[in-house]
Amino acid sequence: MSWLITGGAGYIGAHVVRAMLAAGERVAVLDDLSTGVAERLPAGVPLVRGSVADGAVAERALREHGVTGVVHLAAQKRVPESVARPTLYYRENVGGLATLLDAMVAAGVRRLVFSSSAAVYGSPDVPLVTEETPCRPINPYGETKLAGEWLVRAVGRAHGVRSVCLRYFNVAGAASPELADRGAANVIPLFFERIEAGLPPVIFGDDYPTPDGTCVRDYIHVADLADAHLAAARELARADAGAPAGDLTVNVGTGVGVSVRELAAAVGAATGWSSPPVVEGRRPGDPARVVASAALAAERLGFTARRGLGEMVSSAWEGWLLRSADPAAG
Ligand SMILES: NC(=O)c1ccc[n+]([C@@H]2O[C@H](COP(=O)([O-])OP(=O)(O)OC[C@H]3O[C@@H](n4cnc5c(N)ncnc54)[C@H](O)[C@@H]3O)[C@@H](O)[C@H]2O)c1
């Protein structure tokens, strides 16, 4: 099969490109390079520089590369920005998807893997988040991902596009330092920033109802996440060969909760930082615990994450050091 990876020059997309190539799939990339970096792509991978929101460009890319399936990662992903600029997020993440889906239908491409997010759940008050947990996003970013899932399913019903929506939990790490996330503003880079400045990591709140009082999350290595895309692509190929049709929505996490304190210890081990973190007050809107049930992904996609926290944190640190050594690379 031949896959178009939208957002393939981005952090996750570049890992998906590598996983698909390694598995013998043919890939081309559609990316406007708004946050992506062309150098992340291995030599020989065709890059169409343009926006998914440009229907003519998208349709041409699908036809010219003989595409039979799309992995759609291209999106805006900064939560605070989505709060400040909701129309941008709806236009890019929902409008861009609608245009891409029109181009797919016009070009006869009827398989889609869609990047969704645990942000669709909002602040779920459950020990383990299953795909049946109610979706109540708490910011426009999460809303656009949920609306995207609805749109994908509606187009599936109307035009026979088969889909797998992947709800990623907390993505971290890198397969190699140059593929590390350059724009992340989550807890791991915030810890690195403090350590680089010679300051202890800050933990926001240690009075949550969790075993050590700090927030618990489900961190997944980006290389595992890339493997989940490959598994989803294979599932769509199987469905074509007569397996049950329709859409599938699955969590992509490890099923293992890691507290901020445990994460700080892993960051200490990776970086050599030894003094204890400092604790400040809670930040508004941080749920105590968000951990995926990984059962459906195992059952339906045969996917289980393999890489551990230490590997995630040390590979993220190597990427951080590379960026510090060469700021032009970031
Ligand atoms: N990183 C995470 O923790 C995380 C978690 C959940 C979901 N996601 C989703 O995963 C996807 C990829 O995220 P990422 O972390 O790799 O982000 P990223 O910013 O590194 O990658 C996004 C890529 O899409 C490209 N792009 C953006 N708008 C485009 C457009 N209109 N047309 C063509 N290309 C466009 C960018 O240039 C970039 O290469 C996004 O859909 C994001 O919402 C990410």
Please say whether the beta carbons of 254 and 171 come within 8 A: no
Residues 181 and 294 in one domain: yes
H helices within the chain, ranges in order?
Answer: 11-22, 55-64, 79-84, 86-89, 96-107, 140-159, 187-196, 222-240, 260-271, 295-296, 309-325
CA distances from 39 to 11, 84, 98, 100 (A): 12, 31, 28, 24
pLDDT of residue 298: 98
3-state secondary structure of 223: helix
Residue 141 among the catalytic residues: yes
Q: Domain total for the chain?
A: 2
**147: closest CA among 101, 182, 112, 97?**
97
**How high is the pLDDT of residue 82?**
96
Label residue 327 by pLDDT band (50, 70, 90): low
- The pair of structure tokens assigned to 163 is 């889909």
Instruction: Please state the atom number of ligand 1 nearest to the C-alpha of residue 116.
Output: 7
Q: Ligand 1 centroid to 73 CA: how many Å?
A: 5
Which atom of ligand 1 lies closest to the CA of 96? 31
CATH code at position 311: 3.90.25.10
Q: Which atom from ligand 1 is nearest to the alpha carbon of 37?
A: 39
Does pLDDT of 242 surpass 80? no
Nearest CA to ligand 1 atom 2: 171
CA angle 291–294–298, rounded 5-degree value: 170
**Other beta carbons within 10 Å of 172:** 27
Per-residue pLDDT of 95-105, as tens digits, reads 999 999 999 99
Domain that holds residue 307: 172-217+254-329
13: CA distance to ligand 1 center in Å? 7
The model's pLDDT over 297-316, given as tens digits with 9 standing for 90+, comes to 999 999 999 999 999 999 99
How would residue 125 be classed by pLDDT, with cut points 50, 70 and 90? confident
Residue 284 is predicted with a pLDDT of 84
Please provide residue 159's backbone torsions phi and psi, each rounded to the nearest 5 degrees: -130, 5
Question: Looking at the predicted structure, is the pLDDT value of residue 241 above 90?
Answer: no
**Considering just the CA atoms, what is the radius of gyration of the chain in Å?**
19
Position in ligand 1 atom list of the atom nearest CA 35: 37
Asked if residues 276 and 328 have their Cβ atoms less than 8 Å apart, the reply is no
How confident is the model over 264-299, as pLDDT tens digits? 999 999 999 999 999 999 998 889 999 999 999 999
DSSP type of residue 139:
S
Please, how many CA atoms are within 13 Å of residue 178, restricted to the half-sphere of its CB? Answer: 9
Question: Do 213 and 81 share a structural domain?
Answer: no
Q: What is the whole-number distance in angstroms between the Cα of residue 78 and the centre of ligand 1?
A: 10
Q: Please indicate, yes or no, whether residues 114 and 206 belong to a single structural domain of this protein.
A: no
Regarding whether 195 and 93 lie in a shared domain, the answer is no
| pLDDT category of residue 324 using cuts at 50, 70 and 90 | confident
Do residues 182 and 155 share a domain? no
Tokens of 16: 């998906």
| One domain for residues 186 and 284 | yes
Tell me the C-alpha distance between 172 and 187, whole Å.
Answer: 10
Looking at residues 314-328, what average pLDDT do you find?
Answer: 86
DSSP assignment string, 170-184: EEE--SSGGGS-SS-
Same domain assignment for residues 208 and 135:
no
Backbone angles phi, psi at 197, to 5 degrees: -85, 5
Residues 173-195 have a mean pLDDT of 91
* DSSP-assigned letter for residue 252: E
Check whether residue 151 and residue 286 sit in a common domain: no
Whether 316 and 180 have beta carbons less than 8 Å apart is answered as: yes
**Any idea what the CATH number is for the domain that residue 105 is in?**
3.40.50.720
Centroid of ligand 1 to alpha carbon of 242 (angstroms): 32
Residues 71 and 188 reside in one and the same domain: no
Q: Any idea of the CA torsion for 252, 255, 261, 262, to the nearest 10 degrees?
A: -100
Regarding whether 266 and 248 lie in a shared domain, the answer is no
Question: Ligand 1: residues within 6 Å at CB?
Answer: 6-7, 9-13, 30-36, 51-53, 73-75, 77, 92, 96, 115, 117, 168, 171
Same-domain status, 196 and 246: no
For residues 110 and 162, the answer to whether their CB atoms sit within 8 Å is yes
Same domain, 195 and 283: yes
What distance in Å separates the CA atoms of residue 199 and residue 202, rounded to the nearest whole number?
A: 9
- The residues, ordered by sequence, that sit 6+ positions from 65 with a Cβ below 8 Å of its Cβ are 2, 4, 28, 46, 48
Segment 212-218 shows an average pLDDT of 97
Q: Which residue among 11, 89, 141, 168 is the active-site one?
A: 141
